Structure 1
Amino acid sequence: MTTRQAPAQGVEQEHRVVELSIQGMTCASCVGRVERKLGKLDGVEASVNLPLESAVVRVPATVSDQDLIDTVVATGYGAHVVHPDHPDGDEHDHTPSLLGARLVLAAVLSVPVLLISMVPALQFANWGWVVFALSLPVVTWSAWPFHRAAVINARHFSSTMDTLVSIGVTAAFLFSAGQLFADPTLTQHAGMAGMDMTEHSLYFEVAAVVVTFLLLGRFLEASAKQRAGDALKSLLSLGAKEAHVLRTVDGERTEVTLPADALIPGDAFVVRPGEKIATDGTVTEGHSAVDTALLTGESIPVEVGPGDAVTGATINTSGRLVVRATRVGSDTVLSQMGRLVSQAQSGKARIARLADRISAVFVPVVLGIAVLTFVLWLVLTGDLDAAFTASVTVLVIACPCALGLATPTALLTGTGRGAQLGILIRGPQVLEDTRTVDTIVLDKTGTVTTGTMAVVDVVALAAVPAPDLLRLAGAVESASEHPIAQAVARHAGGPLPETRAFSSAPGGGVRGEVDGVVVTVGRADWLERHGIRTSEAQATRFTAAEDAGRTAIWVAVGDDVAGLITLSDTVKDGSAAAIARLRRLGLRPVLLTGDNRAVALQVAAAVGIDAADVRAGVSPEGKVDAVRELQAGGATVAMAGDGVNDAAALAQADLGIAMGSGTDVAIEAADLTVMGNSLEQVAQAIELSRRTLRTIKGNLFWAFFYNAVGIPVAALGLLNPMLAGAAMAASSVLVVANSLRLRSFGR
């Protein structure tokens, strides 16, 4: 069971979220009934998903899990509590299997029924009784799911699409049986000889073939829904099954193989080349490249070493690693992804509410139309057979299967495909938000750029040669944890000489003794604090470097300035292509950064952002103000960022997009999360969201169009009931097949 604490809105009590597996739902009307019944419990909010056959229910402490189950059972459906990390795969697999058995029996028996009834040359003496016997198992056992659901709904004075199917099939069979029993000699002659077709008609073939077509449609739907849910199942099965945990025995470290779910935070475990990392953790020993494609969708392995964080289910490609577990079980990134995907698939977009509202009144209206059709045909023509045929056809063709499947199948497939690509859509409402977004604000550092400083140039301004200058600066900087200091030390290489008498100041610089000389590295005011002054010519060189969009630091040896080192944050590969793709999607990119304007303009020029759309020198609070300013100007704003200082702006934006390489707080504040660190994935996420929404709209259009056209045609008597059953099944399969096209997105 999933139990997540969340503050209730406007209520003084805690709520939890429970996921239920629900059996027996067949259409949008079923979904609406379950939601309404659960919603009548005090403080309960429910969102029911038809393809997943599940409900996500927000429950106060006063309502137990058993209360929820009892309510669903009283509504006419089965239910039990499940854990989202362990989907009911076996149960869902059983559904297509049982439907398949019913379908096979119906098909085997319906074919001879159809041929005997429709081809006079195949008819023999008393063939009607044979057709009656062959049809009986089809309209009883094969059609049992329709009848059972109709009876359960009738007990609650309600109706669903199963009501339409059950009434139509039962009416056709009983009408035919009544004709045959009233006149046992009706089919005593071979062929049509002796049978007065103006007074009597048998519809056994209609009842049998309609059941077969509807079962075929439902079987294909169940199979398609099962395939659409495979993305989530495969995601949750990515984790390693075992871990090689290090234990100290008699003073020696030994490896003990344990199930991965037995790990606890603090355990150290070994990951050999080619093995999956068992859980989230931090590397303590070794260097390697880790393939993160399973979670992020990025094909290039990431280099890791001591101190680097790694994620469970990713693959160690080369060296041996020792990892200390930091998050296990349901706290891991993989489990969090599974929960996000499951919650998104179980939610409802605003557009889906329209289908639900229509479905709630659709079936009673159709029943009324069927009765009215029968009465009008009988009154206007006096033809009982024609009246019966038209009314049954209305019942059959009106089944709103496609309407109920239009939204959830597209949502299920789209979010599942997103998970495979490392894109997490927090909820279905996000799809509609992406449609209206016209401006995207991009945080520079870590989003457009790598966020890692790199040395661009070493400029010698005195007698100390540039290589020696870099070596001295690298030695003293190696004692600092500042990103700029680490970039200089990394560029200097090694081994570096020892530094003595080290001192530093945050935002100022570092100072220490190297090879008998004092080396001072940092900003101008740091040098001045130690009595070192720069000349006007040197200051001009420094200013020119910063105006070029680089970060510059002074290096002094002894009491004199010896040179300067320039650094820059490198633009990520693919950022320029991603910006171009965002523009093609109709979005205006805006660059937001705390760096100086020269640096920001240089990055903007490199990736194709207009200078007028650059906001530089912006504080974390200023990022929120920048988003609000754009919104006040009429823009609908998306914000992409990866740091703690981006969280407030992500929450303020109409659509927040977190880079998965960033912080947990940024991801929590966002609507969309891309698990990689490529800006290209941001564009891909927006495109996938919009494609999924277009698929939902297309599905709804065809579902409405089908019913709007089919019902009048059936009422006018222009459609055979068998063709109506085939058309109804085909419409459902068409909707599901259209949704499954999303599985090819990004390929």
Structure 2
Amino acid sequence: MSGENKNRVEFRVGGMTCAACQATVRRNVAKLPGVSEVNVNLLTGRMDLLLGGAEAVATEEIIKAVERSGYTAELLSALAGAAGNGAATAIAEQPAAATQRAEADSVIRSRRIFILSLLLYLPNLYLGMASMLGLPLPSFLTAGGGKGVQGLLQFILVIPILYLNRDFFISGTRAALHGAPSMNTLVSLGTGSAVLYGIYALFRIIAAEGGGDTETAHFYHTHLSFDSAAMLLVLIRLGRTLEAGAKRKTTQAVRQLLDLAPDTARRVEANGREVVVPATELRPGDTVRILPGERVPVDGAVIDGNSAVDESALTGESIPVAKGVGDAVSTATINGLGALLVRTDKVGSETRIAAVARLVEQVAGSRAPIARIADRISGWFVPIVVAIALITLTVWLLSGSSVEFAFNRAVAVLLISCPCALGLATPVAIMVGAGRGAQLGVLVKSGEALEALSGVQTIVFDKTGTLTMGEPVVTDVVPNAAVYDTDAEAVFLRVAASLETGSEHPLAAAVLNYAAAAGAVPRSLGTVQALPGAGIGADLSTEIVAELGLPSGSTRLMAGNARLLCDTLGADQTNTGTVRDTAGTSSTIRNAAIEDALRRAASLAEEGKTVLFFFTESVYLGLIAVRDEPRPESGEVIGQLHDRGYKLMMLTGDRRETAVAIGKELGLEPEEIAAELLPGDKVAVVRELQAKGDKVAMVGDGINDAPVLAAAEVGLAMGAGTDIAIETADIILMRSDLHAVADAFGLARQTFMNIKQNLFWAFFYNLLAIPLAAGVFYPSLGIVLSPVMGAAAMSLSSLFVVGNALRLRRYGRSRYEGEVSKMKTVELRVEGMSCPHCSGRVEKALNALPGVEATVDLAAGTAKIKYPDSVTREQLIAAITDAGYDVV
């Protein structure tokens, strides 16, 4: 298997209970040839492998390596292709679904064992407390002293509890035999020691009663530890049950994502008949009908109908998006008030919602660098605890304490120590944070990226399509009147459109849209060459020159910035009153049109407009000004990030004046703007910031900014979930809304603050609890913990870590809940509609407004409309009147 051909394989690992288990599995599997990366997640019970290198490794070898570590393994899926590209295809069972079933089964089984253990423990507790509290007992238990009979009955009652909880002993013993003791090893040693001591005490009771030594029999009866062993197992099982339930809540976001996909769909057969079928039976190419209020069952394209679709499941954006013929719809989104006919493109594990769920699960399986602290400790934590327990036992015995006191101190040390909290501290917070991020439309590709984001000091934004709408429009057309005899603007527009037809730049689209609206018909020029950082150009034939009305003798047509204009026509950009002659010496002005154009361009740039100059190799033809409006929320988000202490920078290829004007509107200072950049210059700006010691995040569209996204410590792509964005960036922002940027940085900071809190608690707990259990403070303060209290504290420690992480589920909730409440409803009476075509036009016009969801009743002559605060009633009325109808 070559380094370029790597496969990602996922396994479910059974039996892991603490960080030591996780470290052992990772260490043993990493030794296998052909394994280049191993991530083991204690929280989800999953192991994620990246296989590559010269030697291939079979699935059976991986499973055997896990089994040699003392655990079980089961193949979940194999993802073919380059690792981590987010576009791989599952060729086995969907990991999320399999893991969820295993989690649910585990919680149910653990709960049943706890209930049965508790019921069996209660009579044992009664027997243990009866003599101390004077509780009544049957006569056969008190005849002849009865201590031996009572002890024997307690032993018999503890046996089924030991059997029910045998997984602790099997797992703990197996881990110890493999040289990697785990939390279950500590539980096994603690409870097993209690049972063995109880058996020893029982023999002493029987012997004492046989010899008539009632005092000795009474002494050992009070120290029978069968009820303590039973209580320890019941408490630990309760803790594990609660922990499993709490951990399951941390994966709730993934389950909710997958549960959003509908189970059935309305498939339209070739004869037009609708059949309700399981969604799993749908195939690409099938046609499905989605009625108002239904969830979309597939990824596909609308082939008939108009509606507004709630895409909050994917993007976190609560405002519905207008959909019409040709528009894409995604699985799990909710159709609005209009019926849609959709052609199926992707189903099941190929859909966007499944890709999002996979990505969240991959994050949970990845390791953040901060987790290495716990990893280093977990490998030797359990052996050290066992050593401390033995030292505790020895020291108390040598100090003259009773065997019972020394034994209880050692058992308390074994049971109170908690490597579980260490193992859970990082993955549980990352899982909850990544899940919450997915709900907000922020997809994190790895724990490492999330940690890097939390430490960023400088945020660099690409301007076009990120801080601005990315939909430039033409605002000014200024032809050189001296070149054209008549109808200068129309002729010039045709020339400009002919050249821009061969370009894919967003500014070219703006020129072409404007020309089309003006009725200008472009002429194909053949191959158009891109001039990086400057513009475009095309060679001209004599026929094309004549047809477009260009100056006779022209051989090349170009469009670009002032630098390209001046370099081509010999003008001095810094002194518009001077041009250079062909010999390169200065002379008086020969072309007043160029001087006027440069002066005009400077004025337009101060209005935030980008100017395109059009010219041949010898003649200036005119200019077109284009403006890309800032996103409505850009200024607000820039202000928020400034307030949080981030340094900001905007990068653009626009001329300095244009960039400064846009930046001023957004709240950016001139020194926070880098303009007139060539494609390679953006990477240089990021490198320069990094050289100053800053950790840099780059926010771009994920398509044109790939090099600079890769150069930054963290790349965030506003790619609306496109494959190219998922391929390039570390974090994908599914919403076309800059609030998602603020959410990403805020969530990253909160997540890693949460991890640090968890790690502090895990370390602090063990540093305090182990000495307390060992009796270090007993001589001076008289404080000591019993084994039962130690077991309870151990369980509570893990629950604290999980509960603390679950707080991340509330991040950003109030703002998004508020957005939903801002939707208003109105019914308007529309006159002039006479047929379904008319009502369709009105409905389409209304649904084209952002966030508007409308349905038109032709018979009643009304339009029922839901709309957000950002849309006014006047805009609704204007949309209807523009469509050719009246509102009463």
CA 637–17 in structure 1, closer or farther in 2 if over 3 Å, else same: same
Which residue of the other structure, out of 52, 70, 76, is the alignment partner of 1:76?
A: 70
1:289-315 per-residue CA deviation (whole Å, 9 max, x = no partner) reads 332211111122233445544444333
> Within 2, Cα distance between the matches of 1:407 and 1:68?
25
Q: How does 1:135-284 map to 2 (within 5 A)?
A: 135-137=157-159, 139-184=161-206, 196-197=218-219, 201-241=223-263, 260=279, 270-283=289-302
CA 291–258 in structure 1, closer or farther in 2 if over 3 Å, else same: same
- Aligned partners of 1:242 and 1:259 also within 8 Å: yes
Query: SS at 2:704's partner residue?
Result: helix
1:151-197 per-residue CA deviation (whole Å, 9 max, x = no partner) reads 22233243111111111112222312322332239899xxx999654
CA 214–473 in structure 1, closer or farther in 2 if over 3 Å, else same: farther
Query: SS at 1:572's partner residue?
Result: coil
CA 707–533 in structure 1, closer or farther in 2 if over 3 Å, else same: same
> Within 1, Cα distance between the matches of 2:322 and 2:550?
32
Moved more, 118-127 or 440-449: 118-127
Query: SS at 1:26's partner residue?
Result: coil
Residue 388 of structure 1 corresponds to 407
> Within 2, Cα distance between the matches of 1:280 and 1:646?
27
Question: Is 1:406 aligned with 2:465?
Answer: no
Question: Is 1:434 aligned with 2:456?
Answer: no
Q: How many residues align?
A: 718
- Aligned partners of 1:641 and 1:666 also within 8 Å: no
Instruction: Tell me the TM-score normalized by structure 2.
Output: 0.72
> Within 1, Cα distance between the matches of 2:512 and 2:264?
39
> Within 1, Cα distance between the matches of 2:328 and 2:62?
41
CA 123–543 in structure 1, closer or farther in 2 if over 3 Å, else same: same
Question: Is 1:54 aligned with 2:46?
Answer: yes
Instruction: Tell me the TM-score normalized by structure 1.
Output: 0.85
Residue 633 of structure 2 corresponds to 574
- Aligned partners of 1:279 and 1:327 also within 8 Å: yes
The CA deviation at 1:681 is: 0.7
**Bigger CA radius of gyration:** 2
CA 113–193 in structure 1, closer or farther in 2 if over 3 Å, else same: farther
> Within 1, Cα distance between the matches of 2:427 and 2:345?
36
- Aligned partners of 1:473 and 1:519 also within 8 Å: no
> Counterpart amino acid of 2:46?
S
- Aligned partners of 1:139 and 1:207 also within 8 Å: no
The CA deviation at 1:614 is: 0.5
Residue 89 of structure 1 corresponds to 100
Moved more, 479-488 or 123-132: 479-488
Structure 2: state its 5+ residue gaps.
78-94, 482-486, 530-534, 539-547, 552-557, 570-590, 779-783, 814-888
CA 205–619 in structure 1, closer or farther in 2 if over 3 Å, else same: same
CA 165–324 in structure 1, closer or farther in 2 if over 3 Å, else same: same
Query: SS at 2:6's partner residue?
Result: strand
The CA deviation at 1:540 is: 4.7
Question: Is 1:670 aligned with 2:729?
Answer: yes
CA 56–535 in structure 1, closer or farther in 2 if over 3 Å, else same: closer
- Aligned partners of 1:214 and 1:726 also within 8 Å: yes
> Within 1, Cα distance between the matches of 2:467 and 2:628?
10
Residue 133 of structure 2 corresponds to 120
- Aligned partners of 1:138 and 1:211 also within 8 Å: no
1:671-696 per-residue CA deviation (whole Å, 9 max, x = no partner) reads 11111121211121122122111111
> Counterpart amino acid of 1:35?
R
Q: How does 1:34-53 map to 2 (within 5 A)?
A: 34-44=25-35, 45-53=37-45
> Within 2, Cα distance between the matches of 1:473 and 1:287?
38
CA 135–449 in structure 1, closer or farther in 2 if over 3 Å, else same: farther
Q: How does 1:516-535 map to 2 (within 5 A)?
A: 534=593
The CA deviation at 1:122 is: 2.5
Residue 720 of structure 1 corresponds to 786
Q: How does 1:561-710 map to 2 (within 5 A)?
A: 566-661=625-720, 663-710=722-769
> Counterpart amino acid of 1:150?
G
1:307-357 per-residue CA deviation (whole Å, 9 max, x = no partner) reads 544444333435455555555554443333222211110111222222122
The CA deviation at 1:649 is: 0.7
> Counterpart amino acid of 2:231?
V
- Aligned partners of 2:69 and 2:180 also within 8 Å: no
Q: How does 1:351-366 map to 2 (within 5 A)?
A: 351-366=370-385
- Aligned partners of 1:132 and 1:177 also within 8 Å: no
Which residue of the other structure, out of 109, 119, 131, is the alignment partner of 1:98?
A: 109
Moved more, 399-408 or 163-172: 399-408
> Within 2, Cα distance between the matches of 1:175 and 1:539?
96
Query: SS at 1:57's partner residue?
Result: strand
> Within 2, Cα distance between the matches of 1:404 and 1:535?
70
Q: How does 1:537-548 map to 2 (within 5 A)?
A: 540-548=599-607
Residue 513 of structure 1 corresponds to none
- Aligned partners of 1:477 and 1:485 also within 8 Å: no
Identity %: 38
The CA deviation at 1:622 is: 1.7
Query: SS at 2:63's partner residue?
Result: helix
> Within 2, Cα distance between the matches of 1:734 and 1:471?
72
Moved more, 238-247 or 737-746: 238-247
Residue 831 of structure 2 corresponds to none
